Amino acid sequence: MAGKERKLSELAEMVGGEFNGKLDPLIHGVEDLERAGSGQLAFVADRKGGQRITASRAAAFIVPRDLPVGDQPVIRVDDPALAMARVQQYFAQEPFIAAGIHPTAVIGRECKIPAAVSIAAGVIVGERVVLGERVVLHAGVVVGDDTIIGDDTMLWANVTVYPKCRIGSRVIIHSGAVIGSDGFGYVYDRRAGRHVKRIHQGIVEIGDDVEIGANTCVDRGTFGATRIGKGTKIDNLVQVAHNDEIGENCLLIGQSGLAGSVTLGNGVVLAGQAAVKDHIRIGDGAMVAAKAGVIADVPPGGIVSGMPAISHKQWLKASIIFAELPGLVRELKQLAKRVDELENLEGHDDSGR
Amino acid sequence: MAGKERKLSELAEMVGGEFNGKLDPLIHGVEDLERAGSGQLAFVADRKGGQRITASRAAAFIVPRDLPVGDQPVIRVDDPALAMARVQQYFAQEPFIAAGIHPTAVIGRECKIPAAVSIAAGVIVGERVVLGERVVLHAGVVVGDDTIIGDDTMLWANVTVYPKCRIGSRVIIHSGAVIGSDGFGYVYDRRAGRHVKRIHQGIVEIGDDVEIGANTCVDRGTFGATRIGKGTKIDNLVQVAHNDEIGENCLLIGQSGLAGSVTLGNGVVLAGQAAVKDHIRIGDGAMVAAKAGVIADVPPGGIVSGMPAISHKQWLKASIIFAELPGLVRELKQLAKRVDELENLEGHDDSGR
Amino acid sequence: MAGKERKLSELAEMVGGEFNGKLDPLIHGVEDLERAGSGQLAFVADRKGGQRITASRAAAFIVPRDLPVGDQPVIRVDDPALAMARVQQYFAQEPFIAAGIHPTAVIGRECKIPAAVSIAAGVIVGERVVLGERVVLHAGVVVGDDTIIGDDTMLWANVTVYPKCRIGSRVIIHSGAVIGSDGFGYVYDRRAGRHVKRIHQGIVEIGDDVEIGANTCVDRGTFGATRIGKGTKIDNLVQVAHNDEIGENCLLIGQSGLAGSVTLGNGVVLAGQAAVKDHIRIGDGAMVAAKAGVIADVPPGGIVSGMPAISHKQWLKASIIFAELPGLVRELKQLAKRVDELENLEGHDDSGR
């Protein structure tokens, strides 16, 4: 956090908010409401959070525009969470210090590496790799031959990038993630009784401002590329398969997975442990609920749940009834009994049934 | 296994069991019933296993207190599996040999590292890291700045720990696990049409005697800490998200996952591929069945299944009926037909329906 | 791709296909229909793909035997995908170049390592390790003591192999995979109120021609071995637990998982995110659908879906009805109303019910 300090009024200006309060305290960091103390800024996401301000020891608060507060110094904004994220980024951001290339790092031949990079101990870079300005490769990162990485991109420790991948600018990849491994593709040779491996000669293309979580896997294309559109954020332990095409600003949440050749539009959300069948198309802004299994295309804006995934509303209703199925069976049995009785009254002959 | 040998009677004393048998064989190791041979001890978990003793070539057996066996040398205990685990630990345990710091390891400035540690080849330790006595860091481990690790903790090869984490004593972390990666948190900026990253300035705190499986991920807190209580055991490929608070002695089984800010009590069990929604609380001793998706709080001792998770008993009944739904539909249709007939007999007029 | 060139007729012979065409173009690589251009071969999987040939700029095509095409130079085969896989392998295959042992690699004592290997920068090999001919260990790989690896096996960057594992010939293991970590086994000690770890003294045995995906985990046996039969292919992020016995030529697709002591026959397919309970047996050629949870044995050739997994056909029917449950409840209510009316007509007395 580097000893930065700003007056609350300055921070208000920074986030396009309205400064209010008798005092204009000097702020040197942010914290949550419970932990914040002297010199720290906290935020309240919505009107319900208002009463928690009184209990907090924070020096100042970011609050919704219409929240009634007393004399507390505040920044009023439309979206407190967004303003807070920005202030947090401001305090967290440190000037890039080019640590250069650690003597234990191994750099292949014919690489293009600017002076302003930080390549940590134990990093291994292949041949003909091109790095942008201010790239940070943490300890133990392995970058394969012929890979290109854009400006200001950071690979955390022990990330692996296979050869020939293209990674954009301002990308963050977390530890243990694997980019460019072979897709899972085989052709069964009946005569020989074995699976024959399909060579995956394609690549992976990761757009600008993408973030990829820890231990997530992104397979290379069989032919062509597996693509992740700019601004898309992927959580931990997610599977992205060969030739998937993921649009911009999507969110893929923990342990979700795509089979091969899936197309996601822009702004698609996959919740935790959701999965999508191969060759499926999911339209812009669609949402796939947690644990859903998508086996048919989803139109733009669609919301689906369940396995197989159906409309979320329909699934919600069906799920409630599912839990009550034993009661339903009892009702059906009772009804059958009543019909039996009615038939007996009518002198019905059941023998024909 | 180091050439240790103990008389069966000595092992009996070690585990608080009762030694029986004409012979008191010298035991130098343990094996399962099928594989065990001369000088090896095997165990029978329950009374049903009794007849398998006759077929085994083991030198001796750990058995339930009341199991009738012939002349075989045995140790009688209340809990054979527990006694076996202890004997196995006894034979597996080797005196700590401080291999020191391998010349290829890279240690940052201002670290506190005792003489009695084993830091293998290719390990990279950041700055101001504090290691306890007898810490073992296997090859390729990366430990971030300002991390503190307790006594007798072992990190297997290629584990990554981000900066500022706190890891207790006697902790085991398996290869590929990532501790302290950023949580998955963004605020959508509608005007700019992009996700703004929330800085994760919190940490991870791992209690004593915790074990964490291969390629499992534990994200750091947004603010404050993600906490794993002492004695909790986590399997492979599990996702623990930002600000989760996991109690003591929990079991999180393979590929299960928690969303952010989940609270687990003590002794909670999450079975394989189970998942828990953000901000959910699960009480002490509760169990979440395999593949369940928990979207509502679970009381202490609760057992839940299904997606959405409901009481396990209710889910079991409903699941059986689910499989029989086609039959249910047929019954309903037949019943409707019988009602049709009854109505016809009554000269009913259906037009109003 | 190394500048290889072959006449189309030669490639036809290589794959046992029939060459047709006025020209016999020189082929130097393969691509998909859309991307292929001069000198490149593309393939059409089935008769439906025929019309896409006209639009393609590929120099030649592999096509089904009976597909009508014009003058285009083609190779006619029974199984175009298989022939294509073989041609792709031919072009991708490069002569093994023994790069030897990189000076930054660390090799333990008493290893047996042939001259013809490639051990990259930052690789760490334990003691008494035995490597076959032409083994390739990419950067950052860690191989534990006493492990044996067969001929022509390749471990991609940052793979971890624990001690004492046995890996066959022509095996491919992708980055981040962990082989031989401890199984998840504890015995609860009620008196002490804690989980006691079971030592996993077993090993992992991986057969010839196995491929293991990125960040997949294979735990070692408690006793004995966890076994993966020859020719089996495992995708990314899959969990294989202690003492699993996987047959030959199985396919385990992304994020699927086995609990401990599961037995899979030969040719078993586990689709994405499927899971199998401990001690379950799945017969030869059985298929487990995506997201299924298997809790009972599956006979050879069985196809199962759902959680709990039931016959796939039964599950399909039940799933369709599940989505329509609200309608079913409405029908039941309407029917009940009609029975009410009939009972009223009969002058029924409901008080007894």
Q: What local confidence, expressed as pLDDT, does residue A353 receive? A: 44
The answer on A171 and A208 residing in a single domain is yes
Asked if the C-beta of B31 comes within 8 angstroms of chain C's C-beta atoms, the answer is yes
**What burial letters (b/e) apply to A178-200, b meaning 16+ CB within 10 Å?**
bbbbbbbbbbeeeeeebbbbbbb
List all residues 6 or more positions away from B57 whose beta carbon is below 8 Å from its beta carbon.
Answer: B36, B37, B38
Whether A83 maps to a domain, the answer reads yes
pLDDT over 70 for what percent of chain B? Answer: 98
Asked if the C-beta of A178 comes within 8 angstroms of chain C's C-beta atoms, the answer is yes
Given a cut of 60, is residue C133 above it in pLDDT?
yes
The answer on C168 and C297 residing in a single domain is yes
For B175-190, the pLDDT digits (tens) are 999 999 999 999 999 9
Given a cut of 50, is residue A352 above it in pLDDT?
no
pLDDT over 90 for what percent of chain A? Answer: 89
Whether C291 maps to a domain, the answer reads yes
**pLDDT category of residue A113 using cuts at 50, 70 and 90:** very high
Residue B289, both tokens: 């069945």
Given a cut of 60, is residue B260 above it in pLDDT?
yes
Number of domains in chain C: 2
**pLDDT category of residue B2 using cuts at 50, 70 and 90:** low
Whether A169 maps to a domain, the answer reads yes
Residue C188, both tokens: 């609860």
Given a cut of 90, is residue A52 above it in pLDDT?
no
The answer on A178 and A296 residing in a single domain is yes
List all residues 6 or more positions away from A175 whose beta carbon is below 8 Å from its beta carbon.
Answer: A138, A156, A157, A158, A159, A214, A215, B142, B160, B162, B178, B181
Q: What is the mean pLDDT of residues B21-47?
A: 93
Secondary structure (DSSP) of A68-88: ---S--EEEES-HHHHHHHHH
Residue A21, both tokens: 């309060």
Cis peptide leading into residue C308 (ω within 30°): yes
Whether A148 maps to a domain, the answer reads no
The answer on B174 and B44 residing in a single domain is no
Q: Which range has the worst mean pLDDT, B132-146, C39-53, C126-140? A: C39-53
Q: Which range has the worst mean pLDDT, A1-15, B3-17, B130-144, C116-130? A: A1-15
Whether A140 maps to a domain, the answer reads no
What ranges make up the beta strands (E) of C220-300? 225-228, 233-234, 239-240, 245-246, 251-252, 257-258, 263-264, 269-270, 275-276, 281-282, 287-288, 293-294
CA distances (Å), origin B165, targets B142, B178, C306 = 12, 11, 40
In angstroms, the separation between the Cα of residue A27 and the nearest Cα of chain C is 42
Given a cut of 80, is residue A290 above it in pLDDT?
yes
Contacts of C30 in chain A (CB under 8 A): 201
Q: What is the mean pLDDT of residues B89-116?
A: 95
The answer on C268 and C190 residing in a single domain is yes
Contacts of C326 in chain A (CB under 8 A): 314, 317-318, 321
Residue B149 CB burial class (10 angstroms; 0-12, 13-18, ≥19): buried
Whether C184 maps to a domain, the answer reads yes
Cα torsion through B155, B161, B163, B166, rounded to 10: -50
Asked if the C-beta of C115 comes within 8 angstroms of chain B's C-beta atoms, the answer is no
Residue A10, both tokens: 């300055």
Contacts of C35 in chain A (CB under 8 A): 223-224
Q: What local confidence, expressed as pLDDT, does residue C143 receive? A: 98
Asked if the C-beta of A318 comes within 8 angstroms of chain C's C-beta atoms, the answer is yes
The answer on B175 and B86 residing in a single domain is no
For B238-251, the pLDDT digits (tens) are 999 999 999 999 99
Q: What local confidence, expressed as pLDDT, does residue B353 receive? A: 44
The answer on A325 and A304 residing in a single domain is no
Radius of gyration of chain C (CA): 28
Residue C91, both tokens: 């072009």
In angstroms, the separation between the Cα of residue B189 and the nearest Cα of chain C is 32
Asked if the C-beta of C301 comes within 8 angstroms of chain B's C-beta atoms, the answer is no
Chain C: residue whose CA lies nearest to A255: C255
Say which of C242, C279, C312, C348 is annotated catalytic: C242
Asked if the C-beta of B343 comes within 8 angstroms of chain C's C-beta atoms, the answer is yes
Give the residue from C125, C198, C199 with the most B CB atoms within 10 Å of its CB, the best one to mutate. C199
**pLDDT category of residue C45 using cuts at 50, 70 and 90:** confident
Q: What is the mean pLDDT of residues A24-40?
A: 94
C272 → closest Cβ in A144, A199, A275: A275
For chain C, give the mean pLDDT. Answer: 95
Given a cut of 90, is residue A220 above it in pLDDT?
yes
List all residues 6 or more positions away from B26 whose beta carbon is below 8 Å from its beta carbon.
Answer: B5, B6, B7, B8, B39
Given a cut of 90, is residue C2 above it in pLDDT?
no
Instruction: Give the sheet arrangement for strand A18-20, strand by strand.
Output: A18-20, A74-77, A60-64, A40-43, A29-30
The bridge status of strand B194-197 relative to strand B186-189 is antiparallel
The answer on A328 and A240 residing in a single domain is no
Question: Do C181 and B213 lie within an 8 Å CB cutoff?
Answer: yes
Q: What is the mean pLDDT of residues A314-326?
A: 97
**Residue at which a domain ends, from A92, A115, A148:** A92
Given a cut of 60, is residue C348 above it in pLDDT?
no
C178 → closest Cβ in B86, B211, B214: B214
Given a cut of 60, is residue C298 above it in pLDDT?
yes
Contacts of B118 in chain C (CB under 8 A): none
The number of beta carbons lying within 10 Å of the beta carbon of residue C344 is 10
**pLDDT category of residue C46 using cuts at 50, 70 and 90:** confident
pLDDT over 70 for what percent of chain C? Answer: 98
Radius of gyration of chain B (CA): 28
pLDDT over 90 for what percent of chain B? Answer: 89
For chain A, give the mean pLDDT. Answer: 95
The answer on B330 and B303 residing in a single domain is no
Asked if the C-beta of A195 comes within 8 angstroms of chain C's C-beta atoms, the answer is yes
The answer on B203 and B79 residing in a single domain is no
In angstroms, the separation between the Cα of residue B31 and the nearest Cα of chain C is 6
C139 → closest Cβ in A124, A237, A335: A124
Bridge partners (DSSP) of residue A303 are A287
Instruction: Give the sheet arrangement for strand B18-20, strand by strand.
Output: B18-20, B74-77, B60-64, B40-43, B29-30
Q: Which range has the worst mean pLDDT, A148-162, C51-65, C266-280, C320-334? A: C51-65
Give the residue from C129, C141, C179, C217 with the most B CB atoms within 10 Å of its CB, the best one to mutate. C217
Q: Report chain B's terminal Cα–Cα distance, integer Å.
A: 81
Of C152, C215, C148, nearest in space to C178 by CA: C215
**Residue at which a domain ends, from A92, A109, A128:** A92
Residue B230, both tokens: 């002492």
Question: Do A257 and C251 lie within an 8 Å CB cutoff?
Answer: no
pTM summary value: 0.96
Asked if the C-beta of B142 comes within 8 angstroms of chain A's C-beta atoms, the answer is yes
For residue B268, give the CATH number of its domain.
Answer: 2.160.10.10
Q: Give the angle subtended at the CA of C121 by the CAs of C117 and C124, to the nearest 5°.
A: 80
Please give the Cα distance from C333 to A300 (Å, whole number).
35
For B272-326, the pLDDT digits (tens) are 999 999 999 999 999 999 999 999 999 999 999 999 999 999 999 999 999 999 9
**pLDDT category of residue C47 using cuts at 50, 70 and 90:** confident
Q: What local confidence, expressed as pLDDT, does residue C6 receive? A: 96
Given a cut of 50, is residue B157 above it in pLDDT?
yes
List all residues 6 or more positions away from C100 whose beta carbon is below 8 Å from its beta carbon.
Answer: C115, C117, C118, C119
Q: What is the mean pLDDT of residues B198-222?
A: 98
Q: What local confidence, expressed as pLDDT, does residue B349 receive? A: 52
Q: Which residue has the tokens 């919505």?
A: A46
Q: Which range has the worst mean pLDDT, A235-239, B53-57, B118-122? A: B53-57
Please give the Cα distance from C273 to C255 (Å, whole number).
5
For residue A42, give the CATH number of its domain.
Answer: 3.40.1390.10
Q: What is the mean pLDDT of residues B30-48?
A: 91
Q: Which residue has the tokens 């690896």?
A: C149
The number of beta carbons lying within 10 Å of the beta carbon of residue B46 is 11
For A54-67, the pLDDT digits (tens) are 889 999 999 999 88
The answer on B82 and B190 residing in a single domain is no
Secondary structure (DSSP) of C23-54: ---EE-EE--TTT--TTEEEE--SGGGHHHHH
Given a cut of 80, is residue B348 above it in pLDDT?
no
**Residue at which a domain ends, from B92, B116, B134:** B92
Instruction: Provide the annotated active-site residues of B.
Output: 242
Given a cut of 60, is residue B352 above it in pLDDT?
no
Whether B138 maps to a domain, the answer reads no
Whether C269 maps to a domain, the answer reads yes
Q: Which domain holds residue B334?
A: 322-353
**pLDDT category of residue B53 using cuts at 50, 70 and 90:** confident
Q: Which residue has the tokens 């082989």?
A: C179
Asked if the C-beta of B217 comes within 8 angstroms of chain A's C-beta atoms, the answer is yes
For chain B, give the mean pLDDT. Answer: 95
Please give the Cα distance from C44 to A171 (Å, whole number).
37
Secondary structure (DSSP) of C118-152: EE-TT-EE-SS-EE-TT-EE-TT-EE-TT-EE-TT
Contacts of C332 in chain A (CB under 8 A): 328, 331-332, 335
Q: What local confidence, expressed as pLDDT, does residue B48 receive? A: 78
The answer on A348 and A295 residing in a single domain is no
In angstroms, the separation between the Cα of residue C192 and the nearest Cα of chain A is 35
For C19-43, the pLDDT digits (tens) are 999 999 999 999 999 999 999 999 9
Contacts of C251 in chain A (CB under 8 A): 186, 195
Q: What is the mean pLDDT of residues A23-51?
A: 91
Q: What is the mean pLDDT of residues C186-195?
A: 96
Helix axes B312-323, A325-345, angle to 10 degrees: 50
Question: Do C102 and A106 lie within an 8 Å CB cutoff?
Answer: yes
Question: Do B237 and C241 lie within an 8 Å CB cutoff?
Answer: no
Q: What local confidence, expressed as pLDDT, does residue B351 receive? A: 47
Contacts of A325 in chain B (CB under 8 A): 317-318, 321-322
Contacts of C293 in chain B (CB under 8 A): 273, 290-291
Q: What is the mean pLDDT of residues A265-294?
A: 98
Chain A: residue whose CA lies nearest to B344: A346
Q: What local confidence, expressed as pLDDT, does residue A71 receive? A: 83
Distance from the Cα of residue B276 to its chain's centroid: 16
